[in-house]
Structure 1
Amino acid sequence: MSLEELKGRRRSDYAFHQEYRTRWSDNDMYDHMNNSVYSFLFDSIINAYLIEHCDLRPPASPQIGLVVNSHCDYFGSVGFPMVVELGLRVNKLGKSSVAYEVGVFEKGKDDVRAVGGYTHVFVERERNRPAPNGMSEDIRRGLKKLLENGTPKL
């Protein structure tokens, strides 16, 4: 996907949304949100979705998702005291892996500030290897709801 396409993302491109109130400690010395906080936000919305819609029950789940890739493209800054809105979609769903995309928006504005995400590979907790049949059916069913071009299916 090109940077221009990512920069054109709107809230409606994402099926699951979550709000985050920035904190003073989120800002770096340049008075905008530190890059590491974006990773925290991506992890938070993805895991909230997995728990709420895919029946993932850490730490009791027999499968866990390992992050094997992460990325972020920045188009505008956010920082304290803003409220940001996060959007989540799935761009690719494999047998054991899923590529997530998260859009970061300032509350009430439609211009995306950042687009990023990561790839999970679901593995058996005990062996740290993908299960022979891939991710569990509960996880797959929940993730499929986010797969169809961000069209809300919830």
Structure 2
Amino acid sequence: MSPAQDRPTRADYVEWRRATTRWRDDDAYGHLNNATYYELFDTAVNAYLYEATGLQVRLLPQIGVVAETSCRYFREIGFPAPIDMGLVVDKVGTSSIIYRIGLFQGGDGSPEEVAAAEGRFVHVYVDNTDPARPSTPMPDPIRAAVSKLLVSSQPAGE
């Protein structure tokens, strides 16, 4: 996404998932509840990791815990239409990954379609065998999977 762009488009994302909205996802105001956006971000990231690695990621000796999340809301979305979730990685570090997830609903699916919301989601890998959970380098299969989503010129591992 160029700095001049206010809102990301479908062309800004590499991997796609679709979520079915549910009646309970809407709040009293008739649009998607704020907490549901974060559930969608978490689902997009972790479903990708499961599928791309073939591993039960929650059972690995090193697991990704959420260190930071945020959301920019551009327009309302909600039940009953499905939501397309675009996924991209901005940075892969030694023990952390910065994802962006765009939420799209409606429209014709053209590359120019703009996101209804965009989330930032940071995973930090920790030692799942140590109760103190110190940070640790991410597993190689995770690094390989997320590197495929990397869009910046930043080399993996920095």
TM over 0.5: yes
Residue pair 1:33, 1:78 contacting (<8 A) in 2 also: yes
Q: Cα offset for 1:138?
A: 0.7
3-state SS of paired residue (1:129): coil
In 2: Cα distance, 1:13 partner to 1:62 partner? 33
Higher mean alpha-carbon deviation, 111-120 vs 32-41, is at: 111-120
What TM-score results when the alignment is normalised by the length of structure 1? Answer: 0.87
Q: Percent identity?
A: 39
TM-score for the superposition, normalised by structure 2: 0.85
Partner of 1:46: 45
Aligned Cα RMSD in Å? Answer: 1.8
Mark the runs of 5 or more structure 1 residues left unpaired by the alignment: 150-154
When you count strand as a share of all residues, which structure comes out higher? Answer: 1
| Separation of aligned partners in 2, 1:28 and 1:142 | 35
1:102/1:21 CA distance change after superposition, 3 Å: same
Distance in 2 (alpha carbons) for counterparts of 1:113 and 1:4: 18
CA contact (8 A) 2:49 2:57 kept: no
1:66–1:6: structure 2 CA closer, same or farther, 3 Å change rule?
farther
Q: Secondary structure at the match of 1:28?
A: coil
3-state DSSP of counterpart to 2:30? coil
Q: CA deviation at 1:107?
A: 3.8
Partner of 1:146: 149
Please give the secondary structure, in 2, of the residue aligned with 1:69: strand
Question: Per-residue deviation at 1:3?
Answer: 8.4
C-alpha spacing 1:88/1:119, structure 2 compared with 1 (3 Å): same
In the alignment, which residue of structure 1 is the partner of 2:63?
Answer: 64
Query: Equivalents in 1 of 2:5, 2:21: separation in Å?
Result: 26
Match of 1:115 in 2: 118
